[in-house]
Every structure is written in C-alpha cells, then in structure tokens.
C-alpha cells in the first residue's frame, strides 16, 4: 500500500515504545550497557564507573551480577555494591600484606573476619570475598590465598553451596598457566560432571568460562544444550564459546556461533573483538570485518579502539598510517581521505512487499482484532483515500510536528508551525499529505486550516491512534526491513528558529563497515543508547598512505 502511493518520506517522531524495549533488553542482557544505563539514571559518567571497577579489582561482569542480585532495586544497589567491594578490598589490604599472599591458616582467617559481621548485615562475608577473588579481572590474584579461603569456608561450616564454590575455583584456575593447575581443573570438572547429570545456568556459565581454556573445550556444546533446559543462553555464553573457538583456532565454529548471535539479535561482547583482532593473520581479521559488514553489526567504542590498534600494528611498520575519527552528521564524505561513503541501496521490491503485507495484517488489522487501533469502517475510508489521492511525496504527522515546541504555547502557535513546515515543502513543489485527528478541526484557527487544505491533501482520523510497537508486531524479518525503511525515509523535525526550520534528514550513505582502496571506514557506537532508527554518527577512518622508506 505504501509503496504504490510512493510515500517517500514520513515526518515526525515515532512513538518510542521499542526504544524502551531495547532499553530493557540492554538492562537484562548486556553488562557494559547496563553500566551505561545506570550512568543515565545516576548522573555519573561511565568513565568513573569503569575506574571504580578497576579500583576494586572487579570485572564488569561480577560488578553487574552484584548489581542485578537485588532485582528491581538496581539503582539503589549501585552504591551498596561499591561500598561492599570497597569494604572487602580494605579487609584484604589491611590484614594481608601484599608480599605475603600465601596459604593462610584457619586462625589467620578468623582474625581477619573478626568483627566484620556487623559491618555488612545479612551477608556472608567469606563467601563474598571468595567470589571477589574468583571473578576479579586482576591477573595476579594469588591462587594460594583463594584456595586457603575455600578450605576455610568448608572447614568452618559456613553456609555455602559446594557447586558454586567449585565453579568459582575453576574460573580462578583457568586463568593460571601450567600443567598442574590444568590437571586440577579437569579433575574438579570431571568430579562435577559425574556428580550432577543436570546443572543450572549460572554454574554452566562459569564452567564454560573455565573450560574454554582447556583441551576439552568442545564440552561447551553439551553444556550449552543443558542451559536450554531451564533458561535461554545469554550473549555472554555465546561470546565465551566464540572466545574458546578462537583460542583453539577453530574459525568455523566461531562463525557458526556468531551467526546464531546475529539471528537472535544479540550484542557481541568486547572479548570477541579482542580475540579476533589479537590474531596476527591479516586475512582472518579482514574476513571478520567483512562478516561484520555483511551483518550490519556496529561495533562498540572500545572495539573501535581495538581496531585502530590492530590497523596500526598491521601496517605501521611498512606504511604511514592515519587513523582519524569523524562525524557523518553533515555530509556523506569522509573529511580526512575525501572518499565518499558508500551509498545506501534502496530496499528490494520483494522485501518491501513482504513488509507491506505484514504491516497491513499485523499492525493495522492487529492479527484480526481491528478494533484495538481503529474500526473497519475508518480503515476502509483510509484505503479509499489513499487510492484516490495518492501518490504523495511527503507525509506529515500534523500533531507530532505541532507538538515540537515549548510546552506552553498557544494553539495558534502550534498550528503556525505546521503551516510553516507545509510552506517549506510546497516551495519544493512536493505533493503533501497531512495526517491529523478530528478534534483539530474544532480547535485550530480557521485560516490555517484553510491554508492546509488548499496546499495539501488531508486525512483526519477519529479512532485511529497509538500505532505503536511496529517492529515487534511485524516479526523478525519484516521488522528488520521496517527499521531499514525508517532509517532511509524518516525526516525528523527538530524545531524552528526565527526564519529557519531545522530537520534531521535521513542519511544517504550505508551505515555499515566499509572497505576503501587503502583502508576502512568503521562506524561505532559513541552514545550510550542509540535508537534503532537513528544512524550512528561516529566513524573511524583507517587508511595507509605512502610506504615508509626502508
């Protein structure tokens, strides 16, 4: 329907339901972004969070798992978690000297924990300390110290789960080098597998994290199937398996896993980028970049830094290398190498038709329940209207445009804005359609309504409203097409200065990784939360110039 009448552009802001969905998804699955979303609510910078994590020698994952432990009180628990880690760290620092990180006896541990129970109420401090040691990102955590703490917990009869203790210890072992630790790790692993025929998702995630560093890493797939009994695997699970495959040089499996992640719209963790880019084989890295390009994946800002490092390392010896960042807001031309970015391809006809079909059935007719959004009578009227008056060059969501001002302005002022937008497009000799609601006819001034009806074709609805959740309702494939269509066709009206209207025009270039003759153009995420229909503005320009004189 939309294609037939050439609805080329759509003005106004879409309702942002799916942004909220995305936000929620990020909150539940994606730890880096979880921090960032906290950053929005707590008004602290992301950088300080990361610094604090480093300060307390805690991985982001542990940090976030602590945060999510309290469920909905996430925001409140952030300072609590920090406080807790700070306290635990101080407990170690005060009582254990750095040079003496050896096996501590029960009495020594008793001395350390003495009087600590009233500091953190309702919390199992030895267990928390063990978790902190096990999942710390710090490389030189003493294995002996952790082992002694583990023995202390079991000997003292402190409440704990043996399984959780074992898996935590395995993660710690996997970070160490050497044959003896490997043997110990595999012994514990065999013990766990023989003891339990099924396991829960938390333990399995930790097992995978440990097992990928050993020759028996292919057990991951068995464990992955086991997760599916009670929960769906998370991106972190898949990312770890990809990491394992890369450690053992099995690219086929790595790409298979990445395919699954792409299909389920999962975020790729930075460890994957790290593992791929650490590879010295140039063709494999380029193959990875091509893969990202095909899937339209946009890497994170940390990954972009890694890519920059890789490029410098790869070509730095032989060529002069230039790595710059730029914003693509204003033009489609890279300001550094003066090479234009690749143009967008229009959406293919059959894809568009599939989306159109899905849109009519699932969004407008609401899978059979037309009455939720509209009535059959009005829908019929609308289709007739499109058949008679189409095609249009531009469609304006009247109320949305009028709403784009300060909060308290008169109705006349609001109407004037719509009028000026229409005037702008009339000057460009476009065919305009204005969509609005019926109550406008009573409230807006007569002369402006006359102007609108003289210069544009209007459709006023009485029932049709709240067309939301498009991407979700459309389903996976038409939804993706819809996002693409929205990216290419939506003009956002940003406001009005004295005599000038400000629009955000859709980009003309592709927003995926691009290969140029002498390098790459890589878009990356610079904002905390980018809506799906907004293009990424930050780009990385990697290019090699002249060969260095040897």
Partner 1 sequence: MQKPSVLRSIHYLLGRCVSCHQKRFYTKCGMIHPYHISTVSVLKSPYCLNRSIYRNFLFCKYSTATKAEKQANLSSSEVKEKLDESSTSVNELSKSASGSTVTNPARELKLEEERRATEILEHLSPEKAKKLKVLRLEYDIWLSSGHRTPRNMTNAMWLELLESESVTSRNKLYKFWCIKEAAQRKHEYKKQKRKEHHLARLQERAKSNDDEDNTYPNKILKKIKDDDYHKHNFAFSMIHGPHLVIDMSYDDMRDREARNLVSQFLKCHGYNKTRSEPFHFHFCNVKKDSLVAEALYRYFINLDQILYTVSEESYLDCYPQKNLVYLSPYAKHPMTEFSYDDIYILGGMVDKVSELPMSIAKAKKDRVRCVKLPLDQYLQWTKGSKALTLDQMVMILHTLKETNDWGQALNHVPKRKFLWLHEKKQS
Q: Which is nearer to partner 1, 128 or 515 (CB)?
A: 128
229 lines the binding site for partner 1 (CB under 8 A) = yes
Residues 334-373: x where in contact with partner 1 by CB under 8 A, - otherwise, as a string: -----------------------------------x-xx-
202 lines the binding site for partner 1 (CB under 8 A) = yes
Q: Which is nearer to partner 1, 294 or 465 (CB)?
A: 465
466 lines the binding site for partner 1 (CB under 8 A) = yes
264 lines the binding site for partner 1 (CB under 8 A) = no
222 lines the binding site for partner 1 (CB under 8 A) = no
Taking a C-beta distance cutoff of 8 angstroms, is the pair 414, 440 a contact?
no
8-37: which residues touch partner 1 (CB under 8 A)?
28
DSSP 130-189: HHHHHT---TT--HHHHHHHHHHHHHHT-S--HHHHHHHHHHHHHTS-SHHHHHHHHHHH
Question: Which of 161, 383, 443, 453 touches partner 1 (CB under 8 A)?
Answer: 161
115-154: which residues touch partner 1 (CB under 8 A)?
122-124, 127-128
- Rounded to a whole number of angstroms, the distance between the first and last alpha carbons of the chain is 63
Taking a C-beta distance cutoff of 8 angstroms, is the pair 330, 508 a contact?
no
We find the least distance from the C-beta atom of residue 34 to partner 1, in angstroms, to be 13
Q: By CB under 8 A, which span of 75-83, 157-165, 396-404, 522-530 interacts with partner 1?
A: 157-165
Largest CA distance in the chain: 90
Pairing state between β 490-496 and 457-461: unpaired
DSSP state of 57: T
181 lines the binding site for partner 1 (CB under 8 A) = no
Q: By CB under 8 A, which span of 192-200, 252-260, 382-390, 423-431 interacts with partner 1?
A: 192-200
The first and second tokens of residue 122, run together, are: 């309702």
Q: Which is nearer to partner 1, 121 or 406 (CB)?
A: 121
72 lines the binding site for partner 1 (CB under 8 A) = yes
The first and second tokens of residue 287, run together, are: 């193959």
Taking a C-beta distance cutoff of 8 angstroms, is the pair 531, 19 a contact?
yes
Q: Which is nearer to partner 1, 165 or 432 (CB)?
A: 165
**Residue found by looking up tokens 């290419």 in the block:** 488
CB atoms inside a 10 Å sphere around CB 157: 7
231 lines the binding site for partner 1 (CB under 8 A) = yes
Question: Which of 160, 262, 483, 534 touches partner 1 (CB under 8 A)?
Answer: 160
Q: Which is nearer to partner 1, 231 or 547 (CB)?
A: 231
What pairs with residue 326 in β-bridges?
A: 539
We find the least distance from the C-beta atom of residue 26 to partner 1, in angstroms, to be 13
# residues contacting partner 1 (CB under 8 A): 32
CB atoms inside a 10 Å sphere around CB 37: 20
CA dist 249 → 217, 246, 252, 275, 276 (Å): 12, 5, 9, 11, 10
Q: Which residues bind partner 1 (CB under 8 A)?
A: 28, 69-72, 122-124, 127-128, 159-161, 163-164, 196, 198-203, 229-232, 369, 371-372, 375, 463, 466
């Amino acid at each position: 329907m939309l294609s037939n009448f050439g609805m080329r552009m759509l003005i106004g802001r879409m309702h942002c339901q799916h942004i909220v969905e995305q936000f929620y998804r990020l909150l539940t699955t994606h730890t880096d972004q979880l921090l960032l979303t906290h950053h929005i609510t707590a008004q602290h910078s992301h950088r300080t969070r990361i610094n604090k994590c480093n300060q307390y020698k805690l991985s982001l994952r542990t940090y976030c798992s602590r945060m999510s432990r309290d469920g909905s009180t996430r925001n409140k628990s952030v300072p609590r978690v920090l406080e807790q880690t700070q306290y635990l760290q101080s407990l170690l620092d005060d009582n254990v000297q750095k040079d003496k990180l050896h096996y501590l006896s029960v009495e020594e541990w008793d001395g350390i924990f003495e009087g600590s129970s009233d500091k953190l109420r309702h919390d199992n401090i030895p267990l928390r300390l063990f978790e902190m040691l096990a999942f710390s990102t710090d490389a030189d955590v003493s294995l002996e110290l952790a082992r002694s703490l583990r023995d202390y917990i079991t000997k003292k009869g402190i409440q704990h789960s043996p399984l959780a203790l074992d898996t935590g210890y395995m993660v710690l072992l996997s970070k160490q080098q050497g044959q003896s630790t490997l043997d110990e790790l595999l012994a514990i692993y065999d013990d766990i597998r023989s003891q339990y025929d099924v396991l829960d998702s938390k333990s399995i995630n930790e097992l995978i994290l440990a097992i990928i560093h050993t020759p028996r890493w292919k057990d991951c797939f068995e464990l992955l199937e086991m997760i599916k009994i009670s929960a769906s695997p998370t991106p972190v699970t898949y990312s770890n398996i990809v990491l394992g495959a890369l450690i053992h040089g099995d690219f086929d499996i790595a790409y298979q896993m990445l395919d699954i992640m792409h299909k389920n719209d999962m975020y790729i963790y930075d460890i994957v980028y790290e593992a791929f880019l650490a590879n010295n084989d140039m063709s494999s890295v380029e193959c990875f970049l091509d893969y990202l390009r095909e899937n339209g994946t946009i890497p994170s800002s940390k990954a972009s830094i890694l890519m920059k490092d890789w490029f410098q390392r790869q070509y730095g010896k032989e060529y002069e290398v230039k790595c710059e960042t730029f914003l693509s807001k204003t033009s489609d031309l890279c300001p550094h190498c003066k090479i234009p970015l690749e143009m967008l391809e229009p959406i293919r006809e059959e894809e568009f038709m599939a989306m159109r079909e899905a849109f009519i059935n699932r969004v407008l007719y609401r899978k059979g329940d037309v009455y939720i959004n509209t009535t059959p009578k009005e829908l019929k009227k609308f289709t007739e209207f499109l058949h008679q008056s189409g095609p249009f060059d531009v469609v304006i969501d009247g109320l949305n445009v009028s709403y784009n001002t300060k909060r308290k302005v008169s109705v006349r002022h609001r109407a004037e804005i719509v009028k000026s937008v229409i005037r702008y497009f009339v000057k460009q000799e476009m065919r305009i359609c204005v969509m609005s609601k019926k109550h406008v006819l009573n409230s807006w001034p007569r002369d402006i309504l006359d102007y609108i009806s003289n210069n544009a074709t209007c459709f006023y609805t009485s029932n049709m409203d709240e067309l939301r959740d498009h991407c979700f309702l459309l389903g996976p494939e038409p939804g993706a097409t819809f996002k693409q269509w929205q990216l290419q066709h939506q003009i956002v009206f940003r406001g009005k200065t004295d005599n000038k209207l400000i629009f955000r025009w859709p980009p003309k270039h592709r927003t995926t990784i691009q290969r140029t003759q002498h390098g790459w153009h890589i878009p990356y995420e610079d904002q905390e939360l980018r809506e799906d229909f907004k293009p990424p503005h930050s780009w990385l320009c990697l290019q090699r110039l002249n060969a260095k004189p040897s």
